[in-house]
Structure 1
Amino acid sequence: MVLDNIEKLLEKYENGETILKEEQQLKNYFSQETVAPHLEMYKPMFQYFLGNQKEQFTKDVPLKNKKIFNYKWISVAAVAVLMLGFYFGQQDNCNDLGTYCEPEEALNEVSKQLAMISGHFNKGTQAVSYLGEVDKGTATLGYLNEIENSTSIIFKK
């Protein structure tokens, strides 16, 4: 009877369906000296689990002292960076990164670029001028649809 119960518990254990109380029964059974011969292969596994259960961590965990960070120095560094930025930022940087100092020079350059874009745009519109003929063809098809609708009304089935 006990052996039959142990075999059922082992089957449940292998399927992962046991509760802690049932697992403890299995551990107690396999910790005995006498175990059924066909269940001998489970004995080392459950003895290992019992041994692992008794292990404890005995080493000391060193706790490090947290260093207190002085935030006053961050504000001093930020003020220094801002002062240097204002000092070096006052220089005349008109020609940096392709900018123009004189408004007339910038206007001439913009008008030249816009004229170039306009020329390319006009070439593109000439290339697609045939689409107007397609529109005329679709309008003709619209008239054919109207004729078909009227004939379907006349010859109603």
Structure 2
Amino acid sequence: MESSKIEILLEKYFEGQTNSSEENELRNYFSSPNVVPHLEQYKPLFGYFAVAKKEEFKPNIQLQSKRLRVTWLSIAASVVVLLGIGTYVYFNTYTNQNQDLGTYTDPEIAFKETQKALALLSNQVNIGIESVRYVEEYQHSKNLIFKP
């Protein structure tokens, strides 16, 4: 008789239709030593609730002080600033010392190099002027077709 009642309560429990008194009855039944053998498989399920009820949460958290965090943050910021200053000084002093500025002691060589540089500049300007000529020709053709 009792096992059929427990089976009905189990069915209702798994369908989510039990109330708290029926769930307490199930917990009490499965925590007792006289459980029907074919229902032994549900004993760990309801036994877990009794064990879980006894457990307590004991926080074991170590709080860091904000002072320690600020100290490390200021040390890291100092290191970043020092690295930035060091990089700036390194690239601005050592690279300027090793840089050849293209100065010549012989005026004839300086004149020839200047002519080469101006010829290169002239070639690039001429290429640009040719591109402008294409644009002017396009503009002229457009004006012929679409008279303003």
TM norm structure 1: 0.40
TM norm structure 2: 0.42
